[in-house]
Structure 1
Amino acid sequence: MLKHKLYIEDLEQINNIDIPWKQLENHSILITGGTGLIGSVLVDSLIYRNEEKNAGIDLWVLTRNEEVLRERFGEYLDKEYFHYLIQDVSNQIDIDDPIDFIIHGASKGDPYSFAHDPVGVMNANYLGTYQVLELARRKNCTKVLFISSGEVYGIVDVKSRSIIENGERGIKETEYGYLDVLNPRSCYASSKRAAETLCLAYINQYSMNVCIARPCHTYSATMLYSDKRVIGEFIRHGLQKQNIIMKSEGTQLRSYCYVADTATGVFCILLNGESCLAYNIANRNSIVTIKELAYIIAKKSAVKVRIIKPGEVEKKGYSGIEHAVLDPAELEKLGWQPRYDLPNGIDRIVRILSEENKQER
């Protein structure tokens, strides 16, 4: 767990949101993708809850990389409540103990994987979801939450949309656009769409309690160095005092969300969300183009922005979606509100990672 005071403050704030936490007390929960960008924060939040609030949550973490697991959670691996599985989520998941809740977040969500391992991307999203749902069916789980993606919407026609006073009206959970299934990058969005439909199939066929979270572009101090998503690359370059490299004109408009706010959204959906429904997780105050994002990070890091042409392989991982602004109204109805806009969220990450890097040296 990161020990920076700002990160501990994030965990405290996550645990203080007004949701029925008692539903988790003295119950078991499995988090797949537990060392990932979002998953690791969810795990840290439940560790914090056990340590600070004596919640008695039996915590299971599934991840492919034991080295990363030990680096992130090493001091907690011997705790009686902490259990882990080292495996590919696409394979059968065998746990002897009861499992009451599952948050399924295992996925390959970065452009490098889209370009170099599209089969692995599709397997993790579809076969991984199948294995999770089969485990949930065998264990008669109370509830499953599938962390999907805002990319399932594809290219939505926004020209006919009305504009509200404070900005673009975002895409609602029932609005879907065009997805080119023969585009190599569609390995991610297509398999997320299929996995969502699989969730609905299990609900209808086995009367299971499953809901879906669709996060927008989430950013965090827990981003792995192997993660090649745009915001992670920009922040890493800024921290290393290197110029930020853009490989497009940066006109794509995106919703962003600080990971602590995304985590509160996930827990809110898990404990308050309705089965068979999907919920967008997006901050209304964090809507910018990629170019604007680059200059926000460059200003905080005192570096410059440069534009260069991408290679042909890199292009395969790029999204053709120009407008990816999500409407969080359904999640807000559950009582969710984000705390950090983009400049404040970026500032927290830069401060956390700057001090972490100093300590490592």
Structure 2
Amino acid sequence: MRVLVTGGAGFLGSHLCERLLNEGHDVLCVDNFFTGSKRNIAHLMNNPYFEVMRHDVTFPLYVEVDQIYNLACPASPVHYQHDPVQTTKTSVHGAINMLGLAKRLKARIFQASTSEVYGDPEVHPQPESYWGKVNPIGIRSCYDEGKRCAETLFFDYYRQHNLSIKIARIFNTYGPRMHPNDGRVVSNFVVQALKGEDITIYGEGLQTRSFCYVDDLIEGFLRLMKSEKEITGPINLGNPGEFTIRELAERVIGLTGSKSNLVFRALPQDDPKQRQPDIKIARETLGWEPLIALDEGLNKTIRYFDELLSSSNVD
């Protein structure tokens, strides 16, 4: 098939492009390179079935494809708070433009949503039926509410135009090709540990997260996209293993052999206290669950960042 991946040069997008090419598809990677990097897709450039287009999804796109994966949007607080208005436009206008394209082509379309639609949850772990507790006017709202609105648009197109939609709610994911300066907890901790710098923990480090290795997540994407039309989602994709932020820091120090110390800073506004997916629906409908343990995934991620920092090729 001819497959369009928006945000295809990003962390998740580049892994998805690679996997789709390995399955024999023609892949059109669309990215405006705000957070995506040509380095992430450089190894794919000589593949005759891979094409790159610099484009911002807030503007309409006219191409001919069979499937669309809509991953375009900065996903870390550092990046999405840099230009919050543009972040909301990317989620909302981008969804409208990609849904319009899918409608014209009668193509199946996948939306990369997020666990942030649950906000600072009062239900734990979070099932898809939980509507969330989100601050609509906070500093994270451009991302949280943008993604919630995108889900609304997807379901309205599904109901109004009988469009074939798939929505995945992505929980914390990590692995090679994360941006070293994206402010996310795994990349932060690994880079600080490898540099021998203090590891920065916000709050007391007792807030919890669940960490899914990127290969497991991409497998979930593909299974959801291949599922029957009536399986629309939203479906949680993430690792149900739950760790405190302090536990993660201590694991990274142990695996890197770093002498870094832990330092504590004030907790940012609206930072969720708990985050853990209920993946019962993914298990039952897709036969999917994560297979890669945290230490195994962290070791692969540490090797990637170690090589990156050893070269001078860090943006």
Q: Please, what TM-score do these two structures have when normalized by structure 1? A: 0.80
Alignment deviations for residues 278-313 of structure 1 (CA, whole Å, 9 cap, x no partner): 1101212x3111111111112212233422435xxx
Match of 1:64 in 2: 32
Match of 1:206 in 2: 161
Match of 2:132 in 1: 177
2:276 maps to amino acid? V
Contact 2:198–2:263 (Cα < 8 Å) also in 1: no
Q: Find the aligned partners of 1:88 and 1:251 in 2 and give their Cα distance.
A: 38
For residues 89 and 145 of structure 1, do their structure 2 counterparts lie closer, same or farther at Cα, with a shift above 3 Å needed?
Answer: same
Match of 1:139 among 96, 100, 105: 105
Alpha-carbon RMSD:
2.2
5+ residue gaps, structure 1, are 1-26, 50-54, 159-168
Match of 1:218 among 173, 198, 203: 173
Match of 1:38 in 2: 12
| Partner secondary structure for residue 146 of structure 1 | strand
Q: Find the aligned partners of 1:185 and 1:37 in 2 and give their Cα distance.
A: 20
For residues 358 and 338 of structure 1, do their structure 2 counterparts lie closer, same or farther at Cα, with a shift above 3 Å needed?
Answer: same
Q: Please, what TM-score do these two structures have when normalized by structure 2? A: 0.91
Q: Find the aligned partners of 1:348 and 1:330 in 2 and give their Cα distance.
A: 28
Q: Note the 1:1-361 alignment, pairs <5 A.
A: 27-49=1-23, 55=24, 57-65=25-33, 70-95=38-63, 98-141=64-107, 143-158=108-123, 170-272=125-227, 274-284=230-240, 286-301=241-256, 302-310=258-266, 315=268, 318-333=269-284, 334-358=286-310
Q: Find the aligned partners of 2:150 and 2:252 in 1 and give their Cα distance.
A: 34
Q: How many residues align?
A: 310
Alignment deviations for residues 90-114 of structure 1 (CA, whole Å, 9 cap, x no partner): 111121xx31111111111111134
Give the deviation of 1:73 after TM superposition.
Answer: 2.8
Identity, in percent, stands at 28
For residues 248 and 271 of structure 1, do their structure 2 counterparts lie closer, same or farther at Cα, with a shift above 3 Å needed?
Answer: same
2:118 maps to amino acid? Y
1:237 maps to amino acid? Q
Q: Which moved more, 1:58-67 or 1:100-109?
A: 58-67
Q: Which moved more, 1:63-72 or 1:275-284?
A: 63-72
Q: Find the aligned partners of 2:65 and 2:270 in 1 and give their Cα distance.
A: 37
Q: Find the aligned partners of 2:166 and 2:224 in 1 and give their Cα distance.
A: 7
Give the deviation of 1:63 after TM superposition.
Answer: 0.6
5+ residue gaps, structure 2, are none
Give the deviation of 1:183 after TM superposition.
Answer: 1.3
